[in-house]
Amino acid sequence: MQLGVCYYPEHWPESQWANDARRMREIGLTRVRIGEFAWSRIEPEPGRFDWVWLDRAIETLHAAGLGVILGTPTATPPKWLVDSMPDMIAVDRDGRPRRFGSRRHYCFSHAGYRKQSARITRAVAERYGHHPAVVAWQTDNEYGCHDTVQSFSPAALAAFWVWLAERYGDVAALNRAWGNVFWSQEYRSFDEIDLPNLTVTEANPAHWLAFRRFASDEVVRFNQIQVDILRALSPGRDITHNFMGFFTEFDHHDVAQSLDAVGWDSYPLGFLESFRFSEEDRLRYARQGHPDIAAFHHDLYRGCMRGGRWWVLEQQPGPVNWARHNPAPLDGMVRLWTLEALAHGAELVSYFRWRQAPFAQEQLHAGLLRPDDAPAPAYAEAAQAAEDIAAIGPMSAAAKSVALIFSYDSDWITTIQPQGAGLSALWAAFDAYCALRQLGLNVDILPANAPLEGYAMCVVPCLPVVPDELLAHLAAFEGPVVIGPRSGSRTADFAIPDGLPPGAIFPAKVVRVESLRPGLVHPGQGWAVRRWIEHLETDAAAELVADDGTVACWRSGNRRYLAAWPEPDILAPVLQSAAREAGVDTVALPEGLRLRRTASHVFAFNYAPTPVAIPDGIGGRLVLGEKLIPPAGIAVLTL
Amino acid sequence: MQLGVCYYPEHWPESQWANDARRMREIGLTRVRIGEFAWSRIEPEPGRFDWVWLDRAIETLHAAGLGVILGTPTATPPKWLVDSMPDMIAVDRDGRPRRFGSRRHYCFSHAGYRKQSARITRAVAERYGHHPAVVAWQTDNEYGCHDTVQSFSPAALAAFWVWLAERYGDVAALNRAWGNVFWSQEYRSFDEIDLPNLTVTEANPAHWLAFRRFASDEVVRFNQIQVDILRALSPGRDITHNFMGFFTEFDHHDVAQSLDAVGWDSYPLGFLESFRFSEEDRLRYARQGHPDIAAFHHDLYRGCMRGGRWWVLEQQPGPVNWARHNPAPLDGMVRLWTLEALAHGAELVSYFRWRQAPFAQEQLHAGLLRPDDAPAPAYAEAAQAAEDIAAIGPMSAAAKSVALIFSYDSDWITTIQPQGAGLSALWAAFDAYCALRQLGLNVDILPANAPLEGYAMCVVPCLPVVPDELLAHLAAFEGPVVIGPRSGSRTADFAIPDGLPPGAIFPAKVVRVESLRPGLVHPGQGWAVRRWIEHLETDAAAELVADDGTVACWRSGNRRYLAAWPEPDILAPVLQSAAREAGVDTVALPEGLRLRRTASHVFAFNYAPTPVAIPDGIGGRLVLGEKLIPPAGIAVLTL
Amino acid sequence: MQLGVCYYPEHWPESQWANDARRMREIGLTRVRIGEFAWSRIEPEPGRFDWVWLDRAIETLHAAGLGVILGTPTATPPKWLVDSMPDMIAVDRDGRPRRFGSRRHYCFSHAGYRKQSARITRAVAERYGHHPAVVAWQTDNEYGCHDTVQSFSPAALAAFWVWLAERYGDVAALNRAWGNVFWSQEYRSFDEIDLPNLTVTEANPAHWLAFRRFASDEVVRFNQIQVDILRALSPGRDITHNFMGFFTEFDHHDVAQSLDAVGWDSYPLGFLESFRFSEEDRLRYARQGHPDIAAFHHDLYRGCMRGGRWWVLEQQPGPVNWARHNPAPLDGMVRLWTLEALAHGAELVSYFRWRQAPFAQEQLHAGLLRPDDAPAPAYAEAAQAAEDIAAIGPMSAAAKSVALIFSYDSDWITTIQPQGAGLSALWAAFDAYCALRQLGLNVDILPANAPLEGYAMCVVPCLPVVPDELLAHLAAFEGPVVIGPRSGSRTADFAIPDGLPPGAIFPAKVVRVESLRPGLVHPGQGWAVRRWIEHLETDAAAELVADDGTVACWRSGNRRYLAAWPEPDILAPVLQSAAREAGVDTVALPEGLRLRRTASHVFAFNYAPTPVAIPDGIGGRLVLGEKLIPPAGIAVLTL
């Protein structure tokens, strides 16, 4: 695994560049990511390019022996470009243009901007496509950040009509598929269809689902244009993009198809504060991040591509600037996060950013260096991580163990029509992932069409649309399969399927579903049905039954069906039983401890605020750390 | 009482219709409500009508012996109509057009749409006005649903000017009535007046009140046009409209004047979750609904018309799709809700809907049948209710007991200027209703101009504008009268009356009012003054005095005045005393039990999650159920 | 100190005026404030003035011996004026025009309205500028009320360009100062710059800071135009404006430069309910207001002008109408508030309003009289206060003791980029003020450029931009200085200064800052670090150290630096120590008791809901009240 750093030479006097490059190498960094917001410096006036500074910056980094990951600057089109075609601006759900003054102020569907995006990409690629320093390209930056996938602009509307016509052929088919007879929503032509925002009450969920698919496809199309140019003009370089955390607005499986390596940006503390974690977890892990945040995304994005190549393009190095509260990580966490990525198979971890900028929006975002050029705490931790990686040496890949199925349309469907406040397939997947990892298991998060050979068990936390490939793969799969609620509950056009859910994935009919407010529970022995319950007609066996007779889990052959929302206390016994049947060893991990096993090594990470011992039974020889692991500590054993 | 069901033949293959109709009859249904969202099927293109399917559907239902309640489809104008006059769309309070894509996307004030509404109503009435199957008409559907009474459109503004000119004659009178000298708000002509939204800080409350009166009158006018057409073209049929729950945006007393029977849509679980109930109640009654939700509206809407004819046009049959959490009712509740309507004098209960639709917005709304045509739990409960109704047999009407006065402008005034967060006349009325019902009393909720002869006592929970008729009726009334705070506190144009409130309704002057934050209380013996306190100058006697001397209730002759907000703990002793003086028997009901008495029968309903016994002293012979009533159970006694 | 009252003769029949004036004098009032919302009566049609009524009103008040404070009516331009130039309306942050129908519906940057504002000011001043009744002028009313300082209108944008050009000279300088190289935010000309609202994510904080400075300067400019006219046309009269509470949208120090006396509007109960007070305080002080609300503003606004002349132009007399909950003050509080103003050096307290209006927006705002002309409780309290003032007699001014530094840009900077939810310099100043006052100390709140001679100690709670004058004044200052976090942390253009904060104000480098969510604390002995922590590199001594070694307060020479957020429990020991070193006597005041000392008197005010005794050691002879002070009671001692 290589280490790298995000660097903005345009922010600093040229006199600092050589010294910066030297220090990067000194602490073991070999990659440097640059360029992704520099459009106004590359092309300060329409058509006038200034390559001089960038030529010199790349030369300087190259001279120091750093490989450059070069970003296309399309996330930040300059003001002169916006003023030349003001309707390139995206429109928010309330109908307001999202103006220049920060970033991502463009609409994916605007043909004019797509041309400009291709033009600047071509210009940069022509200049540096064959440069020996350039080892990879990043397209744009964090597609969708700041809620920018969906645009409710005239450009989006026109493109949506084309997309609908392609998908449905004729409008009668669309009316049928969406059930538009309901509420006289029938259309006579595609161009009668509006975008689904600003309706009196909720729009048809099939309308929303189509719009979200369309919006996702627009991201795919936008990205593909850059990829095609880069492949043509810069052969032999990897192409990547930096995905975000807990983000499902576009189908990452689709975008990943065009990439050589999936990148993502890992901010465990910011995510803990910003996403759906309990107040208790937010305090306990305030300085470590919840122990499964980074790992979940490592395993999710590794699964996006068949080859499984993936990079951390931005790694949190200290306090960030964008959460409601921004504490510093515990000493050691930056190193821990780096090695957790290593354990999950990353090829690269790149810290964001080299030096804290003293100006503009992110001036309170830490870097490896302070604004005054002195080392920030992460500087030494990055150096330590480089040494650790060397000390650990060559490593075998992880063996297949548990396959967890996640699809992006699952999350679209559950959030379009949650039926119970806050229910979502993404968080069902995350909770199932946590439950598996608390048992000490390795998990691969896979798309719904992925082959399952070689896995010991399979978990499908919540998959409303079950593709035929999955049914075929499951038919051939002999290990235990755990299927969560709402699976098989919708057609691809957001209707309840004939014959009722869940369809062929489990021999039952879901005849009624209920969502339950907090506090409305069906208690069992050490667990309870919460949030969601499904009533089944089935010949399957009731495996987990609440005190009042409510069935939380059904069993038929090697398959289990969870009729309750997959909360941790229900998942624990079900997954434990399934793992036992799968012949997979589990371990009762102390709170905050997490393992990751490769064929050659076992990694143990302590996210708890107190020292934790590796449980007996985890064998191997310590090559790093001790059995009693301090907070933010790591131990590595060889088998 | 008849039972019926809401049915959408256009959603299902014609091949199913006859079987559907047969099964309806089989379980005792005799009415079927259809057509109210079918415009796009009746008139798929401008001016091209397709009556064939609807002819056949009505024939099929008729052949099975079902009486049809036919709805005008004006709640869902099709897209082609909207595109032909885009300004028919309503505008929300933020100034945004409320677009096509769900329902109710029209502005009541748009003359073009009023014409179209008349045109389609006439077309349907001409076709089916004399059809023997058609027993009744429903105008439109749920006026005001999704916050659609108020529209801030140019059409509404122009109509508002006309309305103001009619009400005030000249603008100087308006300026005087509203007190526009305040903050230089004086106008020189009616067309200088804006709608009251989007002002810098709150608009003049008199301005808001006028606008809300106007918006209500627009609903009345819109409805009247359809009623006039239907009366002319379909003589002898009842005309109804389906009101909603806890909804005060238009004056239901006014709309009811044109109807033959008031309809309403009863969703106890959805309402519990959506409206102002405590978290404790939301849990305790999650599967039953608060015990007074349905009864309150039965008694409110029965009181809207002099004749008192009323129907439940939509009855919740299982989980709905539109609340934050949507649990299933306890087994038995659908039957219980049906018989509660019977006990309150309904002529009809119609379940919504026959079969759960597998598509579009309401796909998670239960029906009597599941999407796969098999019976849902409510199917058998409806059948059971039909049998129960037969078993109970002929029933005398209820005798007059307690009159509770409610006016819609009370709620407008209190919500325009609550003075303390969350205070509203609607909820004062509801709380007073609950307190009376917990004493086992029958209540008639009456408009402020209703005669009071025959009643034993009268409760006026909160009536800012006291009409002269009420003063006259009260002058002749000898039973106890309980008057709540803010009564008589405003003129019809939202000013404090000369001589200070409450005026002639009680011999006192309210010289100061205070609203109190939660926790700021004046404790009494087993009760406390909360939320609101009025200081009176009066010769009346202090009847209920807090420990610190604050007077919560004053007494003068047969009238009491509550100087505190009518919270349950204050209402209980006051209403108990009043009932005693009125010679009305009260009973201490166990939690969750409710009674309804007719001249011939006593009904007892158990809303509690545990069995409850009918208290001793409730006499009569059991004709249904047992003295110990299970959860969701019913007992009926004859006297 | 004089007492006065706000009066609206235009609201009442002329027949009442003389009697009103007589009664004002009867209870000891000598000033009457009129005219500030009367434009529609002064100029009912464009160019047609009606002076007759106002002439008579002023004559009547004059005849009774009252001095008139005359307001310009520019806060409420009439509808005809708005309709003559609709773009004079301000635009809100969401881009919506803020329409006529309440007040303050103008944009400060609109040249047309500035002309109209000058025209009406000139007209009124020409008419009454030399009238013997007129003793003072108030410009407009409550600049900024209802969030009206910032307008996002085309007029504001055009004016912003001019302002930017004046400040930065050329756009390259602006780009450098703002760090616009970040995210390609560079501009090629000033007119490429948008207003900072409606950006995709947060705009550059330097952009926001410039806009807020600009918006503040627009208020200064608007006010100056009126002041210049009034000075020219009404020589010898004081000019004032009424500031609000807890309001920082414009720089009050700047506006105050043009005034003769700073006015402010004191609503302790409304402020308690509306601003950042704990639920506990909101209950405890519901009827008194937090004990430091009024005093803080007295001391803040007295410090705005070198001469220190200041007035309370509106004093809460009973329940108000605009908070979420509006209780009545305890009996005695109106008198207490009046004497607290006296103790802090006010020249005038004017009650708002004479008689409660029975119409329009403020009909539930109490006055000295009820709507029916009878005295409200505050009537007698005002009379009592007049007697008390006479009884106390001549008073010496207060001696200098503690200087507390506050600047408006501090609050702009901390709220533009709080980094931790809810952190703000205003509230840091308020908390520091409370902590000082709880020690029995007198405080002067001063701008950052104020001289410090004569003060015993100096507290700088949070001052991101430290002006050179302050550094110079501190260099000469020998008393203890307590400096709070974020001080010196930003340049004037919102960048982290070279060499890191806090710069020359304390010998240290802040190398990392963290914001901490509630519950994430570093406990010390009886205190804890909460919300914010700064890590310093410094040779200073650690003075206050948490159990885990976190340093909350550093010490170097006579200066202390708080590295934690200045919460009360940390402030208490630090300020106590500093006061001891300063040789200033402190006293442990019982909860709710507050003192104010002048050179001749000690005032003690009891804000607690129970009686409180003046602590031993507070010497002097009682001239008012007793040592055991009842709730809402006052004691005054002479030294």
pLDDT digits (tens, 9 = 90+) for A3-13: 999 999 999 99
Subunit contact C186:A78, Cβ cutoff 8 A: yes
CATH of the domain at B39: 3.20.20.80
- CA distance from start to end of chain A: 20
Q: Are strands C310-315 and B532-538 parallel, antiparallel or unpaired?
A: unpaired
Q: What per-residue confidence (pLDDT) applies to A619?
A: 82
CATH of the domain at C407: 3.40.50.880
Q: Are both C251 and C142 inside the same structural domain?
A: yes
**Chain C residue whose CA is closest to A147:** C200
Subunit contact A183:B358, Cβ cutoff 8 A: no
Q: What is the tally of structural domains in chain A?
A: 3
Q: Nearest CA of chain A to the CA of C623: how many Å? A: 52
**Chain B residue whose CA is closest to C374:** B511
| Structure confidence at residue B128 as a pLDDT band (50, 70, 90) | very high
- CA distance from start to end of chain C: 20
CA separation for the pair B108, B91 (Å, rounded)? 11
Q: For residue C378, which of C8, C29, C18 has the smallest C-alpha distance?
A: C29
Q: Are both C444 and C377 inside the same structural domain?
A: no
Subunit contact A326:C180, Cβ cutoff 8 A: no
Q: Is residue A580 over pLDDT 90?
A: yes
Q: Is residue B619 over pLDDT 90?
A: no
User: Is C365 inside a domain boundary?
Assistant: yes
pLDDT in tens, B359-404: 999 999 999 999 999 999 999 999 999 999 999 999 999 999 999 9
Please report which helix (H) or strand (E) contains residue A238, including its range.
Answer: strand A238-240
CATH of the domain at A619: 2.60.40.1180
Q: What is the DSSP string of C20-87?
A: HHHHHHHTT--EEEE-TT-HHHH-SBTTB---HHHHHHHHHHHHTTPEEEEEP-TTS--HHHHHHSGG
Q: What per-residue confidence (pLDDT) applies to A306?
A: 84
Residues 476-535 of B with CB under 8 A from A: none
What is the distance of C-alpha B342 from the center of its chain? 17
Q: Nearest CA of chain A to the CA of C64: how many Å? A: 57
Full domain range(s) for residue C258: 2-157+204-392
Q: Are strands A634-638 and A508-515 parallel, antiparallel or unpaired?
A: unpaired
**Chain B residue whose CA is closest to C285:** B520
Q: Nearest CA of chain B to the CA of A566: how many Å? A: 17
User: Is C167 inside a domain boundary?
Assistant: no
User: Is A162 inside a domain boundary?
Assistant: no
Nearest to B183 among C76, C371, C374 (CB): C76
Subunit contact C184:A326, Cβ cutoff 8 A: no
Record the tokens describing residue B598, joined without a space: 């007719």
Q: Is residue A617 over pLDDT 90?
A: no
pLDDT in tens, C30-45: 999 999 999 999 999 9
Cβ-based contacts under 8 A for chains A and B: 170
Nearest to A282 among C183, C202, C517 (CB): C517
Q: Are both B383 and B458 inside the same structural domain?
A: no
CA separation for the pair B620, B637 (Å, rounded)? 5
Nearest to B421 among C90, C100, C324 (CB): C324
**Chain B residues inside the 8 Å CB shell of C377:** 512
Q: For residue B420, which of C287, C324, C327, C285 has the smallest C-alpha distance?
A: C324
Nearest to C102 among B178, B199, B512 (CB): B199
Q: Are both C387 and C409 inside the same structural domain?
A: no
User: Is B181 inside a domain boundary?
Assistant: no
Q: What is the DSSP string of B564-576?
A: B---HHHHHHHHH
pTM listed for this prediction: 0.97
User: Is C185 inside a domain boundary?
Assistant: no
Q: Are both B308 and B362 inside the same structural domain?
A: yes
**Chain C residues inside the 8 Å CB shell of B197:** 99
Q: Nearest CA of chain C to the CA of A188: how many Å? A: 35
Share of chain A above pLDDT 90, in %: 99
- Rounded mean pLDDT, C47-70: 98
Share of chain C above pLDDT 90, in %: 99
Q: Are both B575 and B625 inside the same structural domain?
A: no
Q: What per-residue confidence (pLDDT) applies to B102?
A: 98
**Chain C interface disruption, residue of A359, A362, A370, A373, most C CBs within 10 A:** A359
| Lowest-confidence region among B103-117, B612-626, C378-392 | B612-626
Measured from the Cβ of residue A375, the count of other Cβ atoms closer than 10 Å reads 16
ω into A353 cis (within 30 of 0): yes
Nearest to A283 among C181, C514, C519 (CB): C519
**Chain C residue whose CA is closest to B422:** C324
B283 touches chain A (CB under 8 A): yes
pLDDT in tens, B589-614: 999 999 999 999 999 999 999 999 99
Q: Are both B365 and B412 inside the same structural domain?
A: no
User: Is C47 inside a domain boundary?
Assistant: yes
Q: What per-residue confidence (pLDDT) applies to C306?
A: 84
Q: For residue C485, which of C532, C433, C453, C555 has the smallest C-alpha distance?
A: C532
Subunit contact C497:A358, Cβ cutoff 8 A: yes
Contacts of B52 (CB under 8 A, 6+ apart): none
Contact yes or no for B234/B135 (Cβ under 8 A): no
Residues 326-345 of B with CB under 8 A from C: none
Subunit contact B420:C326, Cβ cutoff 8 A: yes
A76 touches chain C (CB under 8 A): yes
Q: Is residue C639 over pLDDT 90?
A: no
Q: What per-residue confidence (pLDDT) applies to C619?
A: 82
CA separation (Å) from A334 to A28, A356, A632, B633?
15, 16, 9, 62
C84 touches chain B (CB under 8 A): no
Q: What per-residue confidence (pLDDT) applies to A561?
A: 98
Q: Which residues of A are catalytic?
A: 142, 314
pLDDT in tens, C554-572: 999 999 999 999 999 999 9
Q: Is residue B184 over pLDDT 90?
A: yes
Contact yes or no for B488/B495 (Cβ under 8 A): no
Residues 15-54 of C with CB under 8 A from B: 37-41, 44-45
Is C453 labeled as catalytic in the residue annotation?
no
Q: Is residue A370 over pLDDT 90?
A: yes
Share of chain B above pLDDT 90, in %: 99
pLDDT in tens, C164-195: 999 999 999 999 999 999 999 999 999 999 99
Q: Are both C413 and C387 inside the same structural domain?
A: no
* DSSP 8-class letter at A363: T
Q: Is residue A380 over pLDDT 90?
A: yes
- Rounded mean pLDDT, C501-508: 98
Q: What is the largest CA-CA distance in chain A?
A: 76
Backbone angles phi, psi at C633, to 5 degrees: -95, 165
pLDDT in tens, B229-245: 999 999 999 999 999 99
Please report which helix (H) or strand (E) contains residue C3, including its range.
Answer: strand C2-6
Q: For residue C632, which of C608, C602, C615 has the smallest C-alpha distance?
A: C608
A399 touches chain B (CB under 8 A): no
Cβ-based contacts under 8 A for chains A and C: 170
**Chain B interface disruption, residue of A91, A176, A180, A182, most B CBs within 10 A:** A182
Contact yes or no for C363/C356 (Cβ under 8 A): yes
User: Is B297 inside a domain boundary?
Assistant: yes
Q: Is residue B639 over pLDDT 90?
A: no
Q: Are both A253 and A124 inside the same structural domain?
A: yes
Q: Which chains touch A (3 or more CB pairs under 8 A)?
A: B, C
Q: Are both C232 and C346 inside the same structural domain?
A: yes
**Chain B interface disruption, residue of A91, A180, A183, most B CBs within 10 A:** A183
Q: What per-residue confidence (pLDDT) applies to C448?
A: 98
Cβ-based contacts under 8 A for chains B and C: 170
C279 touches chain B (CB under 8 A): yes
CA angle B161, B163, B169 (to 5 degrees): 90
- Rounded mean pLDDT, B292-298: 98
Q: Which chains touch B (3 or more CB pairs under 8 A)?
A: A, C
pLDDT in tens, C308-327: 999 999 999 999 999 999 99
**Chain A residues inside the 8 Å CB shell of B357:** 179, 182
| Structure confidence at residue A586 as a pLDDT band (50, 70, 90) | very high
| Structure confidence at residue A391 as a pLDDT band (50, 70, 90) | very high
Sequence-ordered strand ranges (E) for A435-588: 443-446, 457-460, 481-483, 508-515, 522-523, 528-529, 532-538, 541-545, 551-556, 559-562
Q: Out of C582, C606, C622, pick the residue that ends a domain.
A: C582
Average per-residue pLDDT in chain B? 98
Nearest to C420 among A77, A325, A360 (CB): A325
A187 touches chain B (CB under 8 A): yes
CA separation for the pair A466, A464 (Å, rounded)? 6
**Which residues, in sequence order, are bridge partners of residue C446?**
C405
CA separation (Å) from C487 to A273, C299, C414, C500, C521?
26, 22, 11, 11, 22
Nearest to A102 among C202, C420, C512 (CB): C202
| Structure confidence at residue C212 as a pLDDT band (50, 70, 90) | very high
Q: Out of A329, A364, A392, pick the residue that ends a domain.
A: A392
- Rounded mean pLDDT, C193-216: 98
- Rounded mean pLDDT, B45-64: 98
Q: Which chains touch C (3 or more CB pairs under 8 A)?
A: A, B
B290 touches chain A (CB under 8 A): no
Q: Which residues of B are catalytic?
A: 142, 314
What is the distance of C-alpha A387 from the center of its chain? 28
Subunit contact C101:B207, Cβ cutoff 8 A: yes
pLDDT in tens, C85-137: 999 999 999 999 999 999 999 999 999 999 999 999 999 999 999 999 999 99
**Chain B residues inside the 8 Å CB shell of C80:** 188, 192
| Catalytic residue (one of C218, C273, C314, C381) | C314
Subunit contact C194:A366, Cβ cutoff 8 A: no
Q: Are both B489 and B375 inside the same structural domain?
A: no
| Single-letter amino acid, residue A415 | T
Average per-residue pLDDT in chain C? 98
Nearest to A80 among C188, C499, C512 (CB): C188
**Chain B residues inside the 8 Å CB shell of A178:** 359-360
CA separation (Å) from B410 to B416, B447, C25, C177, C491?
10, 11, 41, 58, 56
User: Is B193 inside a domain boundary?
Assistant: no
Q: Are both A235 and A301 inside the same structural domain?
A: yes
Provide the Cα torsion A561, A564, A567, A572; round to 10°: -40
**Chain B interface disruption, residue of C79, C83, C321, C330, most B CBs within 10 A:** C79
CB-based burial label for B437 (10 Å; 0-12, 13-18, 19+): buried
Collapsing DSSP to helix, strand or coil, A167 comes out as helix
pLDDT in tens, B478-533: 999 999 999 999 999 999 999 999 999 999 999 999 999 999 999 999 999 999 99
B617: left (phi over 0), alpha (psi -120 to 50) or beta: left
CA separation for the pair B16, A43 (Å, rounded)? 67
Q: Out of C347, C364, C392, pick the residue that ends a domain.
A: C392
Contacts of C280 (CB under 8 A, 6+ apart): none
Tell me the HSE value of B469 on the side-chain side, using a 13 A CA sphere. 9
Contact yes or no for C287/C319 (Cβ under 8 A): no
